[in-house]
Amino acid sequence: MHDPISTLGFVCNRLDRHSAEQPEEAVPPLDAPDTRLLILGGDRFLLREGTAIHVATTALLHAVERTETVFLGHWDGRPVFAASIPTDELPTLEGTENRSLDLRSIATDGVVAPEELGLLAVAKSMLDWHGRNRFCANCGAPSFTAAGGFRRECRACNAHHFPRVDPVVIMLVRRGETCLLGRGPHFRPHMFSCLAGFLEPGETIEDAVRREVYEETKIRVGAVSYRTSQPWPFPSSLMLGCVAEALDGEIVTDPTEIEDARWFDREAVSAMLMGTHPDGILSPPPMAIAHFLMRQFVEG
């Protein structure tokens, strides 16, 4: 039986992950036999014939300057590293066999296999984290990579820093036979989606759902139930998909929070998912958790 969650981008991943708990000797050399390498320049991965997994040949390792290299773990028993390179170096690797593409496009267009897409999410999140944490948050001194890239250490104050994940609630709010969808000013034209927002310190998932919905639409929410989650490597979030029950129906949008919000019935949401809405209103792509929540609503 088909699992609808498997259609979500970034959720499938057969990486045997490395971690900061493993000893330093568990990190293989970059030129170890059968090593695989992911290359990220800016926000674009280097692709070759529908894959971003390259054999780490000597020629490839010496072709460009790497600004950061992280050992991700093992993929089908082979060591896998991810490396970031200066954006202007990427064209030197492109040609008739290689091209580059940003991760959003790779995910939306299904350029690589679902399992590989999950691997790219790990690579991008890890490399982005290193790029933003060059200095110790405790004392401001330069920090250095350790544990294959799963930790950064400060030699000045001995602080250890670890990759972080930012939790985000994303919720489909129901009221009878309708659901609440909105659009932010940054959305592509005509697209409506589920409301979403970051959790705040000391906040439960349920309270974050209620707060975000009220802040954006002044709709009060009662019961909240969890559905599923999705890694979202832009730069490193975890989307927590929920369904919530509205206690009232009058929408008052805050233009600093959201551009528009409306109640849609099942027929309208179904048309959005199929791309046949009479007003041209669109849904997020199937790889997005909002699409999954909207489809669940349509299916009852």
155-178: pLDDT as tens digits:
999 999 999 999 999 999 999 999
pLDDT confidence tier of residue 4, bands split at 50, 70 and 90? low
Cβ count near 296 (within 10 Å):
15
What SS3 class is residue 77?
coil
What pLDDT score was predicted for residue 209?
A: 98
Q: CA–CA separation, 120 vs 10, rounded Å?
A: 8
What pLDDT score was predicted for residue 2?
A: 47
What pLDDT score was predicted for residue 211?
A: 98
More confident residue, 141 or 254: 141
pLDDT confidence tier of residue 86, bands split at 50, 70 and 90? very high
Over residues 44-63, the mean pLDDT reads 93
Q: 54-68, 218-232, 285-299: lowest mean pLDDT where?
A: 54-68
Mean pLDDT computed over every residue of the chain: 95
Percentage of the residues of the chain whose pLDDT score is greater than 90: 92
Over residues 5-34, the mean pLDDT reads 92
Over residues 35-64, the mean pLDDT reads 94
pTM of the model: 0.93
Q: How far is CA 119 from CA 31, 88, 155, 273, in A?
A: 20, 24, 31, 27
pLDDT confidence tier of residue 3, bands split at 50, 70 and 90? low
**pLDDT per position as a tens digit, 88-140:** 999 999 988 899 999 999 999 999 999 999 999 999 999 999 999 999 999 99
- DSSP β-ladder status, 78-85 and 36-41: parallel
Per-residue pLDDT at 1 exceeds 60: no
**pLDDT per position as a tens digit, 203-241:** 999 999 999 999 999 999 999 999 999 999 999 999 999
CB 144 within 8 A of CB 155: yes
End-to-end CA distance of the chain: 19
Enter the tokens of residue 74. Answer: 């093992």
